[in-house]
Structure 1
Amino acid sequence: MTSKSNLVLIAELQDMIHDCLKDYVSGDEPVAMVDFPDYKNVGDSAIWLGQMAYLSSRFDKAPTYISSLQDHSHEKLNEAAPSGPILITGGGTFGDIWSGHQELRESILERFPNRLVVQLPQSIHYKSQDHADRMARAIAKHKNFVLLVRDEESKAFAEKHFDCRVHLCPDMAFGIGPIQPLAATEFPVLAMLRADQEKASNYDFSAYPDVPVEDWISESRTPVRIAKALGAAKAVVSLDPERIRGAKLNAAAHNRFRRGIRQISRGQAIVTDRLHVHICALLLGRPHAVLDNSYGKVRRFMNAFSGGTDLSYKAESLDDGIAWARSQAGLGAAA
């Protein structure tokens, strides 16, 4: 594969996203967007902001209904957006690892059998065939479900098990576009590794005392609360409860995303097993070595879309990734 700049890659992937969605979203109809990620993982906030940026840049619109897993209401959705597509947030929750999000997805299909429901780009992973069969039955009953997936393996699984339209589509975080660092460089190499149930290994950093090891799923609640309050205050003049709630949630996503970008910006080169650290590093133009998560999600996405740039390196091991990152930071293989 010929290497390309991150700017060229980002533009190409944005066009691919539009090719997948242009037949399902229009400027005339309202849009509902559900499953806002009101939690600490920065990557999911990046997805959300990319979705919002896509609607704004391509259709000059915002959703008329927004909900999170905690506050979703089928009745309020129907009141605020009685027609038009229902968009379900993309990510890595399609399957049975993150059950709450899957249950919301299935309940939407059951409650809105006559509405177009579009699942924005997801990676699919089921541990139980029974759970996959349950989703297949929900899709078969619905008849108007569109499933966007982020890798070839998910596409093959969906086409085999689900009776719906399936499209291979890049991650929506690319809708954000190129971004600038938000902090000064502090470390030649920074490791950003999962600390949740998708981690592939408990990596041993005893040989690398100079490499900080962090994740981005912890946060102080106060800045997020303040961001939500300020976002709601800016929208209060509208007197529209749905618009106020949407502004509050969007402000939280921006706060979390900025936190993650500040964190990544501190590394001259990155080692990561998080898909959205990889994607955000591409948006930043920052070199990074990539390990995989527990079920191959990161490597599958790189193979489908984002592996064609010199900024990213598919590391075979932690040692391999750190050695490559050191070379990108102008260091030797050992500190």
Structure 2
Amino acid sequence: MSTPAPLADLVMQSRDLLSDVMGAAPTVALLDFPAYTNAGDSMIYLGEMAYLDALDRQVGYACSIRDYDRGALRARVPEGPILLQGGGNFGELWPHHQQFREQVIADFPDRPIVQLPQTMDFQPGAALERTRELYARHRDLTLLLRDRAGAERAAEWFPHQRVEFCPDLALGLGPLAPTRTPTHDVVLLKRTDKESVNDAAALNCGNHTVTQSDWELTGDTESRWNRLEALGGLLSLNRFTRRRTVGIHQRLYDQQANINLAAAIHNLSQGRIVVTDRLHAAVLAALLGKPVVATDNVSKKVSNIFRDYLGALPGCYFAEDLAEAGQIARTLLAPSGVPLPL
């Protein structure tokens, strides 16, 4: 399966930067595994693992928020960088993850820590000032931002840290193959959480068939994921079991992430094109070679990343809202097959 040149360029850019910020240490720790059914965060995790494999780095310790044990981290990775999961929870919108990130930074003031590419959603105020003060005390903290505007703002707000722009690491998955023949013209994958700003009723695709969903697991797939999550919970009941089962946890994480990714591919494969307000549904559609029309979320991360690099991938379009997305979808599905200008 060939890799489009724009994607290959983004992957190489990220790989070179990761090699630089991690240094020469052969073993790393990777914290904040996304132990939930959001396929986008699973894509980021699997992309991170692909980059680490390509760079010949071993993950000596991995954990979710629930499984974190600083003693186990010190024992298994006594030196070398601590990597914090990338995504969209750097700031105030998802405080639980930001609190965990700050706990790790406080626990390891002398270790190199790399925050993998994030979207930042701080507003000027007490939360930002508290984070700035904590981060300024750390001796070797690198912040990677996955959009250029965020990187510029972070460089201003966190002047004591190294700040770099780095594309979203889910792109490290590379080209993927659909797993079924389309049964609908359009898959509308729409957020149902607090980041949503669109009304699904605004999408008008004319006579074309539309199926709507969000990231989700159902049936046997959901049961498999829940069994893995329950097992992980049992292994985290106390410090003794957490420290003796770190390797098992890492295998569970890989299985959970791959279940989420497989379900997401199966979902998007049912449409000829994809319309979405989820960043990683747009990324996944592009990796599957499907035309995709993206709209924004509350933090504008979709439009920022589309402008910076996602829009350079073949078949990617941006709409200001779902009404415009419907117009683009109808054009893409027209019998003439005339492509839209990018």
**Secondary structure of 2:31's aligned partner:** strand
The count of residues paired between Structure 1 and Structure 2 equals 321
**Secondary structure of 1:64's aligned partner:** strand
CA 1:227–1:267: 2 relative to 1, 3 Å: farther
Q: Which residues in structure 2 correspond to 1:315-334 (within 5 Å)? A: 315-330=319-334
Q: Does residue 107 of structure 2 align to residue 111 of structure 1? A: yes
Q: Does residue 35 of structure 2 align to residue 35 of structure 1? A: no
| Residues 232-267 of structure 1: CA deviation (Å, up to 9, x unaligned) | xxxxxxx97322210111111001111011101111
Whole-angstrom distance in 2 between the partners of 1:207 and 1:327: 12
Shift of residue 132 of structure 1?
A: 1.0
Extract unaligned runs of 5+ from structure 2: 233-242, 337-342
Shift of residue 39 of structure 1?
A: 0.3
Report which stretch shifted further, 154-163 or 24-33. 24-33
Which residue of the partner structure matches residue 270 of structure 1? Answer: 274
Q: Which residues in structure 2 correspond to 1:183-198 (within 5 Å)? A: 183-198=180-195
Whole-angstrom distance in 2 between the partners of 1:217 and 1:130: 35
* Residue of 147, 151, 155 corresponding to 1:155: 151
The amino acid that maps onto 1:202 is: D
Q: Does residue 213 of structure 2 align to residue 214 of structure 1? A: yes
Report which stretch shifted further, 113-122 or 297-306. 297-306
Runs of 4+ with >3 A deviation: 26-29, 205-210, 217-221, 225-231
* Residue of 243, 259, 264 corresponding to 1:260: 264
Q: TM-score, normalised by structure 2?
A: 0.88
Whole-angstrom distance in 2 between the partners of 1:196 and 1:323: 25
Which residue of the partner structure matches residue 66 of structure 1? Answer: 62
Shift of residue 6 of structure 1?
A: 6.4
Report which stretch shifted further, 150-159 or 127-136. 127-136
Shift of residue 29 of structure 1?
A: 3.2
The amino acid that maps onto 1:8 is: A
Which residue of the partner structure matches residue 46 of structure 1? Answer: 43
Whole-angstrom distance in 2 between the partners of 1:269 and 1:206: 14
Extract unaligned runs of 5+ from structure 1: 232-238
Shift of residue 183 of structure 1?
A: 2.1
Whole-angstrom distance in 2 between the partners of 1:230 and 1:141: 38
Q: TM-score, normalised by structure 1?
A: 0.89
Shift of residue 330 of structure 1?
A: 3.4
| Residues 194-213 of structure 1: CA deviation (Å, up to 9, x unaligned) | 11010112332585584222
Q: Which residues in structure 2 correspond to 1:169-318 (within 5 Å)? A: 169-205=166-202, 207=204, 210-219=209-218, 221-225=222-226, 241-318=245-322
Whole-angstrom distance in 1 between the partners of 2:7 and 2:83: 22
Whole-angstrom distance in 2 between the partners of 1:71 and 1:184: 39
Cα contact 2:4–2:313 (8 A) shared by 1: no
Which residue of the partner structure matches residue 19 of structure 1? Answer: 16
Cα contact 2:186–2:273 (8 A) shared by 1: yes
Report which stretch shifted further, 22-31 or 150-159. 22-31
CA 1:219–1:136: 2 relative to 1, 3 Å: farther
The amino acid that maps onto 2:288 is: L
Which residue of the partner structure matches residue 7 of structure 1? Answer: 4
Report which stretch shifted further, 304-313 or 109-118. 304-313
Matched residues, percent identical? 33
| Residues 161-204 of structure 1: CA deviation (Å, up to 9, x unaligned) | 11200110000101111100012211111111111010112332
CA RMSD of aligned residues (A): 2.3
Shift of residue 148 of structure 1?
A: 0.4
Cα contact 2:204–2:323 (8 A) shared by 1: no
Cα contact 2:60–2:77 (8 A) shared by 1: yes
* Residue of 109, 122, 125 corresponding to 2:121: 125
